[in-house]
């Protein structure tokens, strides 16, 4: 299966586990006994595990792979795929993934901007906890994406 893109038919809250999509093409109901039919869903910066499918109504486990369970707007782009389709994506890191549907790497860009802004105003010996956390997030994101190998 390749990645299949569709949209949410209505807004969903962070705790909603059942929602409708415009198209369920490529989405399968899982068989957890045999491990077949496992489908993941990616919307905004959240990974979800599909647990059931009836028509275009999808049931999921929210906030998977270290991603936060967040609210999504009606019409939000949602991408479905096999676990192997998402295998190299650093979901636990707050970096959004651009699947060619116009979603910019907001999480990484925001963290980098925050770190750059904070570092520009602080001395290198007196970084506060928030600055250190922002820098670590940016470094971990760059390492996870394969753009930086870290310190030798």
Q: Which pLDDT does position 143 carry in this prediction? A: 64
- Is pLDDT of 91 > 50? no
Question: Which residue ranges make up each domain of the chain?
Answer: 4-86, 106-144
| pLDDT of 93 | 39
Report pTM.
Answer: 0.59
Asked if residue 104 has pLDDT above 60, the reply is no
Q: Which of 5-19, 74-88, 92-106 has the lowest mean pLDDT?
A: 92-106
- CATH number, domain 4-86: 2.40.10
Sequence length of the chain is 152
Place of tokens 């990645």: 3
């Amino acid at each position: 299966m390749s990645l299949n893109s569709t949209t949410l038919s209505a807004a969903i809250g962070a705790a909603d586990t059942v929602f409708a999509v415009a198209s369920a093409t490529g989405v399968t109901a899982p068989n957890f006994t045999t491990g077949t039919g496992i489908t993941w869903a990616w919307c905004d910066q959240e990974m979800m595990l599909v647990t059931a499918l009836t028509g275009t109504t999808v049931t999921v486990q929210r906030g998977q792979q270290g991603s936060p369970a967040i609210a999504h707007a009606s019409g939000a782009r949602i991408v479905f795929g096999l676990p192997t389709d998402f295998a190299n994506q650093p979901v636990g890191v707050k970096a959004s993934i651009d699947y060619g549907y116009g979603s910019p790497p907001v999480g990484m860009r925001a963290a980098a901007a925050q770190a750059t802004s904070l570092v520009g105003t602080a001395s290198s010996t007196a970084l506060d906890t928030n600055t250190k956390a922002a820098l670590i997030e940016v470094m971990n994101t760059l390492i996870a994406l394969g753009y930086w190998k870290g310190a030798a």
